[in-house]
A and B are shown apart, each in its own frame.
Chain A
Amino acid sequence: MKVSVDEKRCQGHARCIAFAAQVFHIDDEGFSHEREGFETVTPELEKYVKKAFANCPENAILISD
Chain B
Amino acid sequence: MSDNNRPGLDFDFHGKALDNIFETYAEIRDKCPVGHSERYGGFWFISKNNDIFAAEQDPERYSVAPSMLLPSFGTDIPMIPIDIDPPKHWEYRKILLPLFTPQAIRKIENGIRMTSRELAIKVLESLRHGPTDASSMFARPVPTIVFSRIAGFPEQDWPKFDKWVYDIIYARVEYPERAKNAAQAVMDYFNDLLMARRSAEPREDVIQKLLEARLDGNPLSQDELISYCYLLFVAGLDTTVWAIRSSLWYLGQNLEDQRRLREDPELIYMAVEEFLRTLSPVQAMARTCLADTVIQGQKISAGERVVLVFGSGNRDPDAYDHPEKIQIDREDNKHLAFGAGIHRCLGSNLARAELVISLKEFLNIVPEFTLAEPSEQWHGIGKLTIRMN
Assess the B334–A15 pair: CB atoms within 8 A. yes
Complex interface: chain B residues within 8 A of A17 (CB): 102
The reply to whether the CB of B340 lies closer than 8 angstroms to some CB of chain A is yes
Residue interface mask A1-37, B partner, CB < 8 A = 1 = 0000000000111110110000000111110000000
**What class of interface size applies to chain B in its complex with A?**
20 to 34
Residue of B nearest to A27 (CB): B101
B349 & A30 in contact (Cβ 8 Å cutoff): yes
Q: In the bound complex, do residue A11 and residue B334 qualify as a contact, i.e. CB atoms below 8 Å apart?
A: no
- CB–CB B333/A12 < 8 A: no
Which residues does A use to contact B, with CB under 8 Å? 11-15, 17-18, 26-30, 51, 54-58
- Across the interface, which residues of A come within 8 angstroms of B103, CB to CB? 26
Are the CB atoms of A13 and B338 closer together than 8 Å? yes
Closest to B100 in A: A30
20 A–B contacts from the bound complex (CB under 8 Å): A12-B101, A12-B344, A13-B338, A14-B101, A15-B334, A17-B102, A18-B269, A27-B101, A28-B98, A28-B101, A29-B94, A29-B101, A30-B101, A51-B332, A55-B332, A55-B333, A55-B334, A57-B334, A57-B336, A58-B341
Task: Check if A14 sits within 8 Å of B334, measured CB to CB.
Answer: no
Q: How far is the CB of B5 from chain A (nearest CB, A)?
A: 37
Chain B, 258-283, CB within 8 A of any chain A CB: 269, 273
A29 — which chain B residues lie within 8 A by C-beta?
94, 97-98, 101
Interface status of B335 (Cβ within 8 A of chain A): yes
Q: Closest CB of chain A to B77's CB: distance in Å?
A: 26
B331 on the A face (CB < 8 A): yes
Instruction: Please report whether the interface of chain A is mostly helix, strand, loop or mixed according to DSSP.
Output: loop
Whether B364 is near chain A, meaning CB under 8 Å from some CB there, is no
Q: Are B341 and A11 in contact (CB under 8 A)?
A: yes
State whether B94 touches A57 (Cβ < 8 A).
Answer: no
Query: Do the beta carbons of A30 and B97 come within 8 Å of each other?
Result: yes
Contact A58 B340 (CB under 8 A): yes
Q: How far is the CA of A34 from the CA of B258 in the complex (A)?
A: 36
Q: How far is the CA of A55 from the CA of B272 in the complex (A)?
A: 14
Q: Could you tell me if A11 and B342 are in contact, using CB atoms closer than 8 angstroms?
A: yes
In the complex, whether B208 has a CB less than 8 A from a CB of chain A is no
| Nearest opposing residue in chain A for B273, CB measure | A55
Distance of B81 from chain A, by nearest CB (Å)? 13
- Determine which of A12, A13, A54 lies in contact with B97 in the assembled complex, contact meaning CB atoms within 8 Å: A12
A57–B349 CB distance below 8 A: no
Q: Does B348 contact A (CB under 8 A)?
A: yes
In the bound assembly, the distance between CA atoms of A17 and B335 in angstroms comes to 17
Q: Are B348 and A13 in contact (CB under 8 A)?
A: yes
Contacts of B338 on A, CB cut-off 8 Å?
13, 57
Q: When chains A and B are docked, how far (Å) is the Cα of A10 from the Cα of B334? A: 14
- Provide the residues of chain A in CB contact with B340, threshold 8 Å: 11, 57-58
List A contacts of B97 (CB < 8 A).
12, 29-30
- What residues of A have a CB within 8 angstroms of the CB of B335 in the complex? 57
A-side contacts of B332, CB under 8 Å: 51, 54-55
List 20 additional A-B contacts (Cβ < 8 Å) besides A13-B338, A57-B338: A11-B340, A11-B341, A12-B97, A12-B101, A12-B344, A13-B348, A14-B102, A14-B348, A26-B102, A26-B103, A27-B101, A29-B94, A30-B97, A30-B98, A30-B102, A30-B349, A51-B331, A55-B332, A55-B334, A57-B340
